[in-house]
Every structure is written in structure tokens, then in C-alpha cells.
Amino acid sequence: MINLTIDGRAIQAEPGKTILEVARENGIYIPFLCYHPALKPIGSCRICVVEVKPGPPRPLPACATYVAEGQEVVTTSERLTAIRQELMKLVLINHALECPICDKGGECELQDLTHALGVPEVDLTAIPATSPPDYESLLVERHTDRCVTCGRCVRLCRDHVGAMAINFMQRGYFTELGSGLLPLDCEFCGSCIDICPVGALINKQFKYRARAWEVTKTEMVCPFCGGGCSYELHLKDGEIMRVYNGETALLCGRGRFGWPVITSPERLRTPLVRVNGELQEATWEEALAAAAGGLKAVLEEAGPGALYGVGSPRATNEANYLFQKFFRAGLGTNNLDNPGRLHYVKALSALGQVFGWPEVKEADGPHPKPPAYTSPFSVKEETKGSGFTFVLGSLEELPRADAALILGADLTPELPPLGWGVNAARQKDDFQLVVANPRGTKFDRWATVSLRYKPGAERLVVAGLMKALLTAHPDLTPAIPAQGLDDLKESLKKFSLKEYASRAGVEAADLEAAAAILAKAQAPAILFGTELLNQDKGEMNALALADLFLLVGKPGTPGSALYPVAEKANTRGVCELGVLPDRLPGLLPLDSPAAPAFWGEHKPVQTPGPTLLEVLDKLEQDEADAPRALWLLGGDLLRWLPNRSRTEKLLSKVKFMVVQDAFLTDTAKLADVVLPVAIHAEQEGSFISSTGQLGVLKAALGTDGVLPDWQIICRLASALGVPLSYRTPAQIFAEFARQIPLFAGLAPRKVVGRTGIPAELKGTFVLFDLDISLPGRRPFTLIIGKVLQHSGSFTTHEPCGTLVVTPEAAVSLNPEDAAQLELKAGDKARVISSHGEVEAKVALDPLLPAGVAFLPEHFAQPAAQMLTLNSNLVRVSIQKA
């Protein structure tokens, strides 16, 4: 600790902090303009000047001067006021001063500063520098005549978003913010809007709709992806005005601009019931009676095993917990799963094999009456944690990694916050990045080594990396006790490094360079995404990465962790809450001694139920124990399961299907009863983000006919003779949190496994297969994946804001491939696989290697899953349509 005085007040501060930071922490006001807590200080505006003794005779910028022992800081004096006022006058020369129509009016830092510094008038004149406002750009409007050239937006976009879309043009007095005289062509994240101190960057969705002081603010967690960003929802008269993040400013486009989707006219507002083969509108009573009747008939005829449930990664923890409670405590079966089966569950299963499933022993509690959404357990000295949860990283520590391997993920579209984390990490000089992806991605630009491997060759890349590592460092020992290293070494002998490299389509030297980076790193992070998990051998891919992390990772060092992408808002939560056929809430095994708590009157069933994919096989083979009824808690199976025509055929074999969804999805169209659910701020509840953070949704909007999932489950379960009744979601949270010691110390914004539980880790190297063949002879390998502006199909409904940026899906091709096929951008192409074909517009993408094509999965058309068999990779031929 450092002792200093500010304005005569004795203050203790941590070393390495700036005077401004310390002053702010201690409630001492120092005006500033170019500084923002989320950015590195540049000290350019000099509004924050203070007198520092000992120091030079001139005042110093508080935002860029570090505290030192014995410093005496004076924040207000005549000289300082004069300097600040003079600077403000320079800022205000020719400032537009259109506060009445400027959306920033009322929350404008320039207005506040002018007041605080008592700038009497601007007695300076300069020739007017007028550049017209930019009304052309999508979603963001730029008024350069209001810009104070603080550079916050430029730094944010460059250093944190990584888009580098805006910069200053001209020099001196004529400096103006620009993007090369063209409208913005960027990620459209809108983060620059929230960091701008003035009204120079304006949110078009908010423009002229409300004044800053008219809105009521609700703290929310973003429902669009597994990033778990929190933001403020601003409402006026019960209508959403905007999404705002004043804290870090960072949000992605779908989080910031996607909210209008909740007002979509396509939303279901009344329940639907199938009458004479047609879905017809019904009241809630009728629909619930119909659903209960249909399910009861099946249950009575074929027993509790005849009903299968699919939980939802978009539903809250509370809804998912009740859902599994209905199946376990109500019916006494393990017949449930969640759509994460296609990707995230594979990662969990691999991690479970290598690091063990999570377990927390000796947590203190349960204490009575914890606050809402807070675990009743706390961490005490004897508390011990083990298992993979403790090697999964949090977002907060990612910037502290000193090396990162991003494999099989186009990081920003998959999970923007991981991208921001890596960007923050690369602000450190010693940070080194390895990017491995069949396609070029944004992060290649900053990568020390880029590995462009053949689609599907992830395991060869990882094996090659391990081979190179172990060759260069034969006595490399894992940081935690590990078994099976010798077997792994043995299995790696299958090929030489050159062979690994050539089979994967990369250079052996690059593998060696990447391995050297990982070997040297003190805190290496490994990030991987659904692109690699979605493959049929996704679990093998995850195993390979888990092995690699066991080999080079430094668990316990902040930043050194695994970051698998859990795609949707609650993909991690739906798994942690036990909507799995083989795991109970808290990821407890079925034979756990704590199991009886989850089974009510029933005896715990120790045999796992069938997985979602096994259920489909059972339906295909007309097995006797194939489910006859399905209860889907959202999730458009037709859209997400590979091989759509097969799924369609199999789902039609199901006798009775109840679907809860916000939209009439293709799967819902096959249902017998469709129950419309509340989304976004229409409901309360909690999510667990991809990086384990607990986010709490608040009900801020009216529900307009729909019901939250948890209420529907309560009512339907009760009608089926399983009485479930709760007053609030917080009550449900309290119930399950009492059963889950893994959540010890968890509270809103806290991270599962990062609540101070000391972890005892050990690992086992598990061998993975190296067979990467992709069946078929067609010339192109098509990757089906995600694009930045969309989250599942959620954001593809008008009037979602991001639809103006990416209104439709196009199949991307390397320009040379396209030229050979005589296709130009915008042409229609037929994409044909051995299972089906779709027609799609062509887009050219020089970042794609030859022979690889890419198709986004989000849109109804082209229906990407028509092409696939069991993986997101498929061989296709492409022709002009």
C-alpha cells in the first residue's frame, strides 16, 4: 500500500493505480474527458490536470500519473481551474450545441463538465469546421460536429472490439472521427455509442425516442448468447427504448440491437392446440388441459418411460430445474436431455473424463434465508473442490492469460466476450496467440502462429502440437498430478510430426512454433467452440484439447483455463441443472449419495436415460421403448439436428408432442399443443453463462398473453398429477441451490467454481482417435456455423435490429472457387450433399481456403441441416442454380 494525500486527505492506495482512479475510489472529484475506466488512459485532453508534489512544476494529468509514496496531490486551485476552463473553451469552440435535439442531452459528459467547471462563455472564435453528419451507416449515426476527439471510441473499437473500424482523419483543429469517408462497415456492435462522452455517436434505435432522464433502468442479463453480458434496459412507458452498457460499453450487435425481436409480430401470443389436424388458437386452460390429456393418455397406456423431455438452453435455470424435477421426482425417469447434446455436452463429457466431474465437499451450510439468487452455502477453510469446473475459466481472468490457443472457433461470432477477453489479453506485450481454424478469422491478424488446417482435422493438429511439445520437452510434466502420460506418448507415436502436419494440412514448423509458445507460457488459455464440438467426433476433439490442457495448462494460475463455448444464454445452466439423462442437478452422478433429494418419493434410478440422439435411433428402429410423447421446452429440433429430413420423419412418429416456444418454429408446427413462452425481460430467472457467471433476468415488461416457462411447467405438471407450485423463480433457485454444494458462494455476477473454493485437481490423459475422414467424394467441404449478427434462429425474426446488417444467409466461397464455378457474389447456387440440397445466395470470402465453403445455420432458408448427416461438416458439390 502507498500513502499519499489528496487535497490534504491522507489516503492509502494500491500501487500501480493512477491518481484519478484512486481519487474516484475515494469519492474525490477530478474532472476528466478522455479517460474511461474500461480503457487504457492516454492523457490527451488534460482536463484532469492536478498539482503533484514532488513532481514537475507544471500540472500533471491525473488519469495518466501513477500514485507514489508521499505524494501530495491538489485537485483544485485557481491555476487548475483556469487551465481546465481554457481547455473547455477550446473543446467548445464550434461545438454543435444542439442539446435540445441531441440524444445525449441529459447524460452528456460535456454538459456535466461545462457545469462543473463553470465555463462562463466561449470567447474564442475559429473558422467553422463542418462535416455533415453520417446518416448512412446502419444502426449507428455519427455527428462529427459534436465530437470532442477524446479517442475513446477509436481505442475501444481497436483494442477491445478488435474491429478497427473508426479512426481520426485530418490533423489539429480539423481532426475528425471517420471511417474513410464511407459509411461504417464494421461489426455493428454499437459499443462506441456507449463509450462516447457526447452525442457524436448515436444509437439509431434510440434516436429521438426518449430523453435520457425519462427512462427507467433495469439491470438485465443478455438473453442472446452464452456470453452472459449484463446491461441496462431502458424503458419508457413500458416500452424498451434501448440497451445500454455504461460500465464496460462492450456488447455485441445482437445484444444491443436485437431486442426488437421481442416485439415481433411473429411471436406466439396464444396457445395453439391441434384440432382435426390443424393448430388452432386456444385459451390457456384449454391448451393446458389438451396437453395434460394427451400426455396422460400416453403415460397411462405406456408408463412413465413413454414421455421424453428436451430442456432448453434459452429457458432459465429455474424452468430447467423444474423440468427435470417433473421427470425425476414426478415420473421417476431419466428420460430427458437438452440440445446442448450436439455440442456443449460433448465438451462436458470429455472434460469429465480427463479432469473428473465436479464435486465440492465440506461447503459451509446451507445457511437459512440467503438473499435472492444466492447460494445458501459458503466456502470455509475445509471446503474442497475437484473436477473440471475448476479448470473452466472465467471471463474476468481471461485477460491475464499470457498465451492463448483458439482452436475450431470463429471466436467473435461464437461468443463475443471471449473475443473481447483475448483482445484485452493481447494488450499485454508478452501475450502470444495461436489461432487454428480451417477458415481465416479476425484473430489471425494478431496471431503469432496461424494454423489453417483441413476441416475436421482438429485432433491431428492437437496431436501434432503435443508431439512437437513432447519432442522439444521430453520430460514435460503436467502442472497437476496426471495419469496416462506414457500411454499418450505411445499413441502419439502413430505418426511423425511431419505426418501429423501434412495430414492436417499445416506446416510442421508452425506446429513446432505453436507448441513452443504453449510450452513457454505461464498462463496458457485454450478456447474452442461449437464449430469443432458440432462434429460427430466433437467429443474426441474436446478430449484432445482437454489432454493438451492437462499437458500444458497451469490450473490455478489466473487466465490459464479452458474456455469451451456454451452457445446459448443458458446452455451451461441447462446442463448444470441436470437436464441430462445421466447427470443430476449440480452435475452430480446418478449414483451420488445426494441423489435421493432429487427423486421425491421415487427410488433413485441409477441407469441413465437415452440421450437425445439415442432417442432418435430408437424411433428410427421402432424400438419398444422409444418415446411416444415428447415435451420440448423450446428448441427447434428440426432446425438444429443434423439430417433434417430424417428428424422430420422421426418426429412424425411421436404420438403426442408438446412444445413451449416463443415462435411457431418448424418443430412447433408438428406439435399437438404449442404453449407460448415469455422471453427476455418478460420474465424473471437466472442464467449461467458460458464462462460460469450467474446472470439474473428481471421482469420489466408486460407478458401480453404468454407465460414464463416455469409457470407453464408448474401448471402442466400439476395437471399431470405432479403438484409443483412456486410463487417466484427466486424460490425455485433457493430450492435447488440447497442441493448443489458446487454453487457454494454463488451470487449474481459471481462465477461457478470461482467463488474461492480451493481446488484439488488431478487428471488422466484419455486417448482419442485420429481418424478424420469425412465420407463422400464431393469436391467441397461445407462448414455449417455461426455468423456474428445472429444467435440461433432467435434473431432472424423481424424487426430484430441486426437483420439490417445480415438479413439472410449466403453460402460463402473462396473467390477463386467461385470463379471456377462461374459464380459471382449474389448469384444463386445449388448446394448438394448426398442427403439433400438447398439453394443459397453466393458470397465471396477470401478468408476461406480453396475447397471449403461456409453456410450460416441461423435462417429458415436455406435450411442448412437438409445437407448434413451427423456433423456440421459435410461434403457438397456446388453449382450455379
Partner 1 sequence: MILPLIKGLATTLRYCFSKPITLQYPEEKRTPYPRFRGHPELVINEDGSRRCVACTLCMVVCPSNAIRGIVPAEGPHHEKYPVQFTIDLTRCIFCGFCQEACPKAAIKLNNLYELAQYDKEVLILDIERATQKKPEMRAPDWL
Binding to ligand SF4 (CB under 6 A) within 165-194 occurs at 165-166, 177, 184, 186-192
Binding to ligand SF4 (CB under 6 A) within 234-263 occurs at 251-252, 254-255
Closest distance to ligand FES from the beta carbon of 153 (Å): 14
Q: Which DSSP symbol is given to 394?
A: P
**Bridging pattern class, strands 272-275 and 239-244:** unpaired
When binding is defined by CB under 8 A, the residue of 44, 55, 95, 105 that contacts partner 1 is: 105
When binding is defined by CB under 6 A, the residue of 17, 89, 95, 646 that contacts ligand SF4 is: 95
Count of residues engaged in binding ligand FES, rule: CB under 6 A: 12
Assess 757 for contact with ligand FES (CB under 6 A): no
Q: Is the peptide bond preceding residue 366 cis, with omega within 30 degrees of 0?
A: yes
Looking from the CA of 126 toward its CB, the CA atoms found within 13 Å total 14
Residue pair 746/375 in contact (Cβ under 8 Å)? The answer is: yes
Q: How far apart are alpha carbons 329 and 346 in whole angstroms?
A: 26
Q: Which DSSP string corresponds to 345-374?
A: HHHHHHHHHHH---EEES-B-PPSSPPTT-
Binding to ligand SF4 (CB under 6 A) within 391-420 occurs at 416-417
Which residue lies nearer to ligand FES by CB, 90 or 613? Answer: 90
Q: 219 has which bridge partners?
A: 232
Return the exposure string of 822-836: e unless at least 16 CB atoms fall within 10 Å of the residue's CB, then b: ebeeebebbbbbebb
Q: Beta strands of 84-197 (E only): which ranges? A: 140-142, 167-169, 176-178
Q: Which DSSP symbol is given to 453?
A: P
Q: Which DSSP string corresponds to 501-524?
A: HHHHTS-HHHHHHHHHHHHH-SSE
Q: How far apart are alpha carbons 91 and 87 in whole angstroms?
A: 6
Assess 209 for contact with partner 1 (CB under 8 A): yes
Q: How far apart are alpha carbons 813 and 585 in whole angstroms?
A: 44
33 binds, among partner 1, ligand FES, ligand SF4, none (CB under 5 to 8 A by kind): ligand FES
Assess 213 for contact with partner 1 (CB under 8 A): yes
Assess 252 for contact with ligand FES (CB under 6 A): no
With contacts defined by CB under 8 A, name the span among 83-91, 209-217, 370-378, 422-430 that binds partner 1: 209-217
Count of residues engaged in binding partner 1, rule: CB under 8 A: 12
Q: 499 has which bridge partners?
A: none
213 binds, among partner 1, ligand FES, ligand SF4, none (CB under 5 to 8 A by kind): partner 1
What radius of gyration, in Å, describes the C-alpha atoms of the chain? 28
211 binds, among ligand SF4, ligand FES, partner 1, none (CB under 5 to 8 A by kind): partner 1
Q: How far apart are alpha carbons 324 and 317 in whole angstroms?
A: 11
Q: How far apart are alpha carbons 457 and 449 in whole angstroms?
A: 17
Q: 302 has which bridge partners?
A: none
Assess 44 for contact with ligand FES (CB under 6 A): yes
When binding is defined by CB under 6 A, the residue of 6, 22, 43, 404 that contacts ligand FES is: 43
Q: How far apart are alpha carbons 577 and 392 in whole angstroms?
A: 17
Assess 101 for contact with partner 1 (CB under 8 A): yes
With contacts defined by CB under 8 A, name the span among 93-101, 569-577, 788-796, 860-868 that binds partner 1: 93-101
When binding is defined by CB under 8 A, the residue of 133, 183, 356, 556 that contacts partner 1 is: 133
When binding is defined by CB under 6 A, the residue of 6, 39, 61, 641 that contacts ligand FES is: 61
Which residue lies nearer to ligand FES by CB, 115 or 603? Answer: 115
When binding is defined by CB under 6 A, the residue of 6, 13, 46, 459 that contacts ligand FES is: 46
Residue pair 494/460 in contact (Cβ under 8 Å)? The answer is: no
Q: Which residue is nearest to ligand SF4 (CB)?
A: 255
With contacts defined by CB under 8 A, name the span among 94-102, 338-346, 760-768, 873-881 that binds partner 1: 94-102
Which residue lies nearer to ligand FES by CB, 63 or 415? Answer: 63
Query: Using CB atoms within 10 A of its CB, is residue 652 exposed (0-12), middle (13-18) or buried (19+)?
Result: exposed
Assess 63 for contact with ligand FES (CB under 6 A): yes
Query: The sheet that has 216-221: what strands, in order across it?
Result: 216-221, 230-236, 239-244
Which residue lies nearer to ligand FES by CB, 55 or 303? Answer: 55
Assess 45 for contact with ligand FES (CB under 6 A): yes
32 binds, among partner 1, ligand SF4, ligand FES, none (CB under 5 to 8 A by kind): ligand FES
111 binds, among partner 1, ligand SF4, ligand FES, none (CB under 5 to 8 A by kind): ligand SF4
Can you give 574-639 as a three-state secondary structure string? HHHCCCCCCEEHHHEECCCCCHHHHCCCCCCCCCCCCCHHHHHHHHHCCCCCCCCEEEECCCCHHH
Count of Cβ atoms closer than 10 Å to residue 128 Cβ: 8
When binding is defined by CB under 8 A, the residue of 56, 100, 120, 474 that contacts partner 1 is: 100
Give me the 22-41 binding string for ligand FES, x by CB under 6 A, dash otherwise: ----------xxxx------
Assess 214 for contact with partner 1 (CB under 8 A): yes
| Binding residues for partner 1 (CB under 8 A) | 99-101, 105, 133, 135, 207-209, 211, 213-214
| Binding residues for ligand FES (CB under 6 A) | 32-35, 43-48, 61, 63
| Binding residues for ligand SF4 (CB under 6 A) | 95-100, 102, 104-105, 108, 110-111, 140, 146-153, 156-157, 161, 163, 165-166, 177, 184, 186-192, 195-201, 222, 224-225, 227-229, 251-252, 254-255, 416-417, 791
